Amino acid sequence: MPQSMRTFIGVPLVPGIRDKLVALQQQLAETSGSVKWVEPENLHVTMLFLGEVDAREVLTVCRTVEGVVGALEPFAMRVAGIGCFPNPRRPRTIWAGIEEGSRELIELHTALEQPLMEKGCYRREERAFTPHITLGRVKGESDTRALAEALKLQADWFAGQMTVKEIHVLSSELMKEGPVYTVLSRARLVQAED
């Protein structure tokens, strides 16, 4: 077992929403070859990126997440709209937005932060948490005008709605082909039934 694991907490997506995100990635890819697109199986909403976590602390992280999430009720999440960080003139990260459910995700993020900081498993980020799904990252200093225009045309894009029923703790192993995510634990929201 490795000494430490790149670890993060994320919301998994239902297949229908993931399929629409992949179709959008393919459409945007026609405008720019300079984007490294997130692999379909890796699309998710990142709640907290913990970085390198000592392997002995992973169980503590999983139990902490289960304790926080187990006290919350499932909620609706609507995936709609696309944009980029830091701004449309210089897109670096392409994302899909969260409309409904954004407030609940921010509250969940806040609820997870404090106990994980107290256990020494997380350092608060300087920028505010903005719920989104990363679709891709622009490589290098390439011309992104066509991509920026395509993003503007897709401003009203809609992927669908789902119910958030569980949160995953995942590890990320960096490989040549791209990162490989492994689910370390699934924390179900209270009364979450299939």
User: SS3 for 129-147, per residue?
Assistant: CCCEEEEEEECCCCCCHHH
User: Where would I find the H helices in the chain?
Assistant: 15-29, 58-69, 102-118, 145-153
With 80 as the cut, is the pLDDT of residue 142 above it?
Answer: no
The arithmetic mean of pLDDT across residues 38-67, rounded, is: 92
Which among 160, 189, 184, 157 has a CA at the least distance from the CA of 173? 184
**Chain-centre distance of CA 176, in angstroms?**
21
- Residue-level pLDDT at 193: 53
Contacts of residue 110, Cβ cutoff 8 Å, sequence gap at least 6: 129
DSSP 121: S
Q: Please, which pLDDT band fits residue 117 given cuts at 50, 70 and 90?
A: confident
DSSP 13: -
With 80 as the cut, is the pLDDT of residue 78 above it?
Answer: yes
What tens digit of pLDDT does each residue of 43-56 get? Answer: 999 999 998 998 88
With 70 as the cut, is the pLDDT of residue 191 above it?
Answer: no
User: Where would I find the H helices in 81-184?
Assistant: 102-118, 145-153
The rounded percent of the chain whose pLDDT value lies above 90 is 58
- Residue-level pLDDT at 16: 96
- Residue-level pLDDT at 118: 86
**Contact predicate 24/118, CB 8 Å:** no
Give pTM, 2 decimals: 0.89
The rounded percent of the chain whose pLDDT value lies above 70 is 95
**Chain-centre distance of CA 3, in angstroms?**
25
For the chain, the helix, strand and coil percentages under 3-state DSSP, each to the nearest 5: 30, 40, 30
The arithmetic mean of pLDDT across residues 163-179, rounded, is: 90
Cα→Cα distances 77→94, 108, 143, 148, 165, Å: 19, 13, 34, 26, 10
Q: Please identify which residue in the block is written with the tokens 């210089």.
A: 90
For the chain, the average pLDDT equals 89
Q: How far apart are CA 168 and CA 148, in angstroms?
A: 32
With 70 as the cut, is the pLDDT of residue 31 above it?
Answer: yes
- Residue-level pLDDT at 2: 63
Q: Which residues are catalytic?
A: 44, 132
Quote the tokens at residue 192. 């979450």
